[in-house]
Amino acid sequence: MINEETANHPTPKTYVSTALILSVLTAIEVGIFYITSLGYWMIPILAILSIGKFALVVMVYMHLKYETKLFTIFFLSGLFLATAVVFALMFLFKSF
Amino acid sequence: MSEQNNHSTVENTTTGLNHRKLLMWAFLGSDCMFFASLIATYLVYRGKSVTGPEPIDLFSIPVTSVSTFVLLMSSMSMVLAYAALTKGNLKVFRVWMLSTAIMGMTFLGFQVFEFRDFTVNHVKIGCEENNAKYTELENKFSSQQKSDYKKQCSEGKKEADIEFGMTPRTNLFGTTFFVLTGFHGAHVTLGVIWLLSLFFYSFKRGAVSADRHLDVDLAALYWHFVDIVWIVIFTVVYLFGVYEGF
Amino acid sequence: MTTFPLQISRPIHPTGIWNWITTIDHKKIGILYGVSAFILFIIGGIEAMLMRAQLASSNLKIIDPELYNQLFTMHGTTMIFLAIMPMGAAFFNYLIPLQIGARDVAFPRLNAFSYWTFLAGAIILNASWFLGGAPNAGWFGYAPITGKAYNVGHGIDFWIISLQVLGIASLAAAFNFIVTIINMRAPGMTFSRLPVFTWMSFITAILLVLAFPVITVALIELQFDRFYGTNFFITSAGGNPVLWQHLFWVFGHPEVYILILPAMGIVSEILPTFSKKPLFGYPVVILSGIIIGFMGWMVWSHHMFTVGLGPVANSVFALTTMAIAIPTGVKIFNWLGTMWRGSLTLNTPMLYAIGFILTFTIGGISGVMHSQAASDAQQQDTYFIVAHIHYVLFGGSLIAILGGIYYWFPKFTGRMYDEKLGKLGFYAFFISMNITFFPMHFTGLNGMPRRIYTYGSEYGWDFWNLISTIGVLLLAASMVIFIYNIVSSWIKGAKASGDPWDARTLEWSITSPPPEYNFAVIPTIEYRDDWWEKKMLKKAQEQPVSKDVHLPQPSYWPFIASVGLLIGGFGIILSIPVAIIGAAITMIGVYAWSFEPVNDPH
């Protein structure tokens, strides 16, 4: 039972290297933040970086990559709807 | 699938997935909508405050970067605790579990410090004519703050010390910021209580063990979720908040 | 096994009232939901009758304006959150495990918690009548009229807190049913064989878990504005009341489908049974339900056409609203197709189901009329909207629920209802319902606004208003027939067999009422409408009587956790120390519950 469920989970090594990547991404985020010459480019760059962090935690630490698709469907349906609602409201309030 | 077990239906389910784990993922999907509504409120009200302070007047990116880092590392620590437990290594499990909870509490400590810092924020503005800082802040000041500045300067001071703090009542930014990050903080608090409960519970013989790893798995999922919400908040509220072009 | 320090001896075989308080049997919880919701439905109906009395003629002074405001707010809130939703929950509870061949829901104690928390919310809301006045800002409580500046007193506070408590109850129940339907199906019960009612409940539960957090946040914001002086909807600080409308309707429109999808499921069970035909186009009906559930998220601003969102937003939402009529229409044709050339039995549940198709279609068509943003400007906030919502909720959700009560009455109680009275009750109900609500189309198009406590005779609204008021009296009489029929049959009706309708789904394969364990042997499903197919093939087997099925044991803790919420709910409005006591009780309840094993060791 236990082995079936956790057998394909990654090893602690993967977890630590994921943490390293997360730290580096955060450092890049904060670093980029101080490069004012980037102008409007800063927004997509920071957005992509944080989406990357988000995805790493969800896929590796929350094991979504290694477990049944059903969990992914549950989570992503909430996530997509949530994102859509945020953007729809921003559009309706002309916040862009 | 064979006939269902009379004594327990937990392990023997239609999909083979555990009931509680399925519930947890459904809950996380639902909680996405919760935070989305708060974040949407924050974003549509962004820059709509009638008076200051604004994010740029208060946020300290280096400090928040540190607390963000601590929360990220607590996620690693959490997953290592879980990995140790599935291998049956209870001692290592306890070490990582405790360190996760401590990092969670550190994050909360930062948040308390930050909240307090925002509420008691002051600015010092020189009293000379056309002071650059005053010109910059004038349209963010309430009439109270403006008259305070004039009063202090008319008393012959070289530099006026103006209260420029923010509470949830001060302006729209305060309202949306404190409620959004406050509810995230409440999630973290609940998570810390959960983690500590499991930590202390693990000293009871057999209460937390490799074949009952699901109890920890669920707490871990919740904890990582709280972390990813913060990843979003850090970028959208803090970094985009200070960045003027957005 | 481990025990929590607070472990008090577990109620193994409780008797009397404790049997009900500690029960975690989905059937008993279903009955509790149904009876409580029906009592609250009567309360909401009395509120409506008082309003109709006041509106019977122009310039009446039976009810003062303030009380009138409270009545329409409580009527709407009660009917939606305390009557129709929990009546739906009653059916979910009772039927889903039976229809999928399970012995209980996935989380029996969470299920008990849902019910008691729902009751706590109902008590908090209705207590407002006695604690300084009921809420008075309408069921969608638009900002800024709910703000502290315009609404002193505790009415709105009770409204906020009770909706939050009800939200907890609904979310807990919805998570439970999602997991139950995915994870507790009998072997062979694939999603393509799942009964339509269970399918629609599944979609409803998904809508609930995604929609309720939004209203939770909106209510939190309002609560913070009122309790702690924040600025969310304070215009002088830059707050925008339109945000409340958006958040409310982002929740509110999926909520409409939360109310109607279970009704569609009930009708989809009744029609095939009494047409002696399988449901016409089963996959299409399911797919339409899914599309409705999905598109329900894309139409919310059609409640706000007159706000001034601009031509782009209005056009987009008008188009999506027109589009959502398509899957709904598809379903109506499927129901008609089911009856086409069937051998119809026109008994009471079938009459209600046919009545549903008729009135729901009328409500659907007036809905399409609102979807034209331009003409909606004429209809917004008039009695035309009131007519529409009552045709889809009263003539849609409720009529199907009443039909469902008759249909499953033998299963719930083990007794038959009185068929003659049932039919009489139906005709009285159906005719009086149309007398009540159809004239509202006319008064609405003649410009009568909703939520006014009286009107002048010069407008010419007197006649149709009087007709509506007469209609509501007849409606009350028809409900008396219904209640009499149900109560007297429950006490002394003829005994019902396990399958009195020669029906199709699994719940009819067991005795009426079902044994506590539902299925002595978990059935293996081979067909859609398995029970029917097996009867046709002469493969149907009687369930044996079993004495050796171990069920999850009753528990005090869900009830205690809900009591904590009740106390905490009052406390947060009236006194903070009480709120802390309530929170502590809930904490103790939840802790003890999580350390209590599902079954004590034998």
DSSP per-residue codes, C1-19? ----TT-PPP-SS--HHHH
> Same structural domain for residues B205 and B131?
no
> Same structural domain for residues B151 and B35?
no
Which residue carries 């708060």 as its tokens? B38
- Say yes or no: B213 contacts chain A, CB-CB below 8 A: yes
Answer whether residue B111 is part of any domain: yes
Question: What ipTM score was computed for the predicted complex, to two decimals?
Answer: 0.93
DSSP C301: G
What's the rounded Cα separation, in Å, for the pair C21 and B81?
A: 40
> Same structural domain for residues B117 and B203?
yes
Q: Give the per-residue pLDDT at B6.
A: 36
The mean of the pLDDT values for chain C is 93
Q: Give the chain B residue whose CA is nearest to the CA of A35.
A: B243
Q: Which of A92, A93, A95, A96 has the most C C-beta neighbours within 10 Å, making it the best mutation to test the interface with C? A: A92
CB atoms within 10 A of CB C376: 21
- CA distances A13 to A18, A19, B96, B213, C593, Å, are 9, 10, 15, 20, 37
- Say yes or no: C232 contacts chain B, CB-CB below 8 A: yes
> Same structural domain for residues B230 and B185?
yes
Query: Chain centroid to CA B5: how far?
Result: 43
Task: Say if the Cβ atoms of A77 and C210 lie within 8 Å.
Answer: yes
Q: Which of B48, B228, B237 has the most A C-beta neighbours within 10 Å, making it the best mutation to test the interface with A? A: B228
* Residue B63 domain boundaries: 19-121+171-242
What's the rounded Cα separation, in Å, for the pair C535 and C269?
A: 17
Q: Give the per-residue pLDDT at A51.
A: 95
Answer whether residue B2 is part of any domain: no
Q: Give the per-residue pLDDT at C166.
A: 97
Task: Say if the Cβ atoms of B32 and A89 lie within 8 Å.
Answer: no
Answer whether residue B150 is part of any domain: yes
Task: Say if the Cβ atoms of C183 and B41 lie within 8 Å.
Answer: no
User: What are C330-378's pLDDT values in tens digits?
Assistant: 999 999 999 999 999 999 999 999 999 999 999 999 999 999 999 999 9
Q: Give the per-residue pLDDT at C8.
A: 60
Closest in B14, B37, B45 to C247, CB measured: B37
**Mind telling me how many Å the CA of C210 is from chain A's nearest CA?**
7
- Nearest Cα neighbor of C22 from C556, C596, C597, C564 is C556
Q: How many domains does chain B have?
A: 2
Triad C214, C220, C222: Cα angle to 5°: 105
Domains and their CATH numbers in chain C = 22-188+198-239 (1.20.210.10)
Domain boundary among B113, B144, B164: B164
Answer whether residue B10 is part of any domain: no
Per-residue pLDDT of chain B in tens (246 residues, 90 and over written 9)? 233 333 333 447 888 889 999 999 999 999 999 999 999 999 999 989 998 898 889 999 999 999 999 999 999 999 999 999 999 999 999 999 999 999 999 999 999 999 999 999 999 888 888 888 888 888 889 888 889 888 888 888 888 888 899 999 999 999 999 999 999 999 999 999 999 999 999 998 888 888 889 999 999 999 999 999 999 999 999 998 887 655
Q: Give the per-residue pLDDT at B2.
A: 30
What's the rounded Cα separation, in Å, for the pair C27 and C70?
A: 35
- Say yes or no: C336 contacts chain A, CB-CB below 8 A: no
Which residue carries 């450092």 as its tokens? A27
> Same structural domain for residues B108 and B70?
yes
Task: Say if the Cβ atoms of A74 and B25 lie within 8 Å.
Answer: yes
* Reported confidence tier of residue C7, pLDDT bands at 50, 70, 90: low
Average pLDDT in the C221-241 region? 94
> Same structural domain for residues B116 and B127?
no
Contact A70, B241 (CB under 8 A): no
> Same structural domain for residues B92 and B144?
no
3-state SS track over B154-177: HCCCCEEEEECCCCCCCCHHHHHH
Answer whether residue B93 is part of any domain: yes
Q: Give the per-residue pLDDT at C542.
A: 78
Contact C127, C162 (CB under 8 A): no
| pLDDT > 70 fraction of chain C, expressed in percent and rounded | 98
From chain B, the residues in CB contact with A45 under 8 A are none
Closest in C182, C246, C297 to A92, CB measured: C246
> Same structural domain for residues B107 and B145?
no
E strands in chain B: 122-126, 159-163
Triad C232, C236, C239: Cα angle to 5°: 25
| Among A27-41, C58-72, C227-241, C377-391, the least confident range | A27-41
Q: Tokens in use for B157?
A: 């001071």
Residue C509 has pLDDT above 60, yes or no: yes
Residue C430 has pLDDT above 70, yes or no: yes
| Among A32-46, B82-96, C64-78, the least confident range | A32-46
- H or E element in which residue C49 lies: helix C26-55
Residue C601 has pLDDT above 70, yes or no: no
What's the rounded Cα separation, in Å, for the pair C593 and C70?
A: 38
Q: Give the per-residue pLDDT at C3.
A: 46
> Same structural domain for residues B206 and B117?
yes
What's the rounded Cα separation, in Å, for the pair C410 and C56?
A: 40
Burial degree of B129 (CB within 10 A; 0-12, 13-18, 19+) = exposed
Task: Say if the Cβ atoms of A81 and C210 lie within 8 Å.
Answer: yes
Residue A87 has pLDDT above 50, yes or no: yes
Better-predicted residue by pLDDT, A66 or C46: C46
DSSP per-residue codes, C171-219? HHHHHHHHHHHHH-PPTT--TTTS-HHHHHHHHHHHHHHHHHHHHHHHH
> Same structural domain for residues B117 and B143?
no
From chain B, the residues in CB contact with A29 under 8 A are 235, 239
> Same structural domain for residues B113 and B186?
yes
> Same structural domain for residues B101 and B33?
yes
For C:538-557, CB contacts with B below 8 A are: 548-550
Task: Say if the Cβ atoms of C237 and B4 lie within 8 Å.
Answer: no
Q: Tokens in use for C78?
A: 């009660």
